[in-house]
Amino acid sequence: MIKLCGVRREEDISFMNEFLPDYIGMILSPGFRRSVSLSEGARLMERLDGRIKKVGVFVDAPAEYIRQAVNIMGLDVIQLHGSEDKNYISAVSDTRAKIWKAVRVRCGEDITAADKLGCEFLLLDSFTECAAGGTGKVADWDIIKSTKINTPFFLAGGISANNLEAALSVSGNIDISGGTETDGVKDRNKIAGIMNIYERNFCR
């Protein structure tokens, strides 16, 4: 499966409807470059092709805010990208949406700990000192490949058309954001190239 994240404009929705990734993500916590308000996100999601699953990305957000987002936007997935723990996950598990958890991978123990959280998927990203959000940098794939992981996972962080084939050798589930952009906005040609590589190497 492939998820294209950071969707925030009407043009982005048009690109998603054209190329039909499995999932699209919107950053619904405020304060990030790609953040989208709930009202704007709901308006955009109304135009999304029904075959594409909707992911809301949150960073240490209040549980009630997440419930509101699921209801307003019809989210299929809650993606937690902060310091959320097992208790937090239990507090937001009463919605209709599945729960994914992002992991900043420094060592195998980071993955092993997240493996016990009971999420549907993990997103394995690179480690930075930043407290929250994606990194835009390639994770240590050797650590990921050498760690026993029971939870299905997406590979995230610094993936683009240039390294997508190598990424697919680590996981058939890929999450891409910055690699779909030029000068900070979604680029149709980059999206087309990524989807072409993905479909050529990993038939859905």
Looking at the predicted structure, is the pLDDT value of residue 194 above 50?
yes
Q: How confident is the model over 120-154, as pLDDT tens digits? A: 999 999 855 444 445 567 888 999 999 999 999 99
55 contacts 81 by C-beta, under 8 angstroms? no
pLDDT at 139: 81
Cβ count within 10 A of residue 138: 17
Q: How confident is the model over 55-72, as pLDDT tens digits? A: 999 999 999 999 999 999
Which residues contact residue 87 at a Cβ distance below 8 angstroms, ignoring those fewer than 6 apart? none
pLDDT at 127: 54
The predicted model gives 181-198 an average pLDDT of 96
Q: DSSP 3-state assignment of 121? A: strand
- Place 21 in a pLDDT band, splitting at 50, 70 and 90: very high
pLDDT at 201: 84
State percent of the chain over pLDDT 90. Answer: 85
Range of 69's domain? 2-201
Q: What is the DSSP letter of 149?
A: -
For position 119, which CATH number holds? 3.20.20.70
The predicted model gives 32-45 an average pLDDT of 95
The predicted model gives 161-179 an average pLDDT of 95
Q: How confident is the model over 88-113, as pLDDT tens digits? A: 999 999 898 999 999 999 999 999 99
The predicted model gives 163-170 an average pLDDT of 94
What residue type is assigned to position 82 of the chain? Answer: G
Number of domains comprising the chain: 1
pLDDT at 131: 45
Across 76-112, b (16+ Cβ under 10 Å) vs e yields ebbbbbbebeeebbeebeebebbbbbbbbbeeeebbe
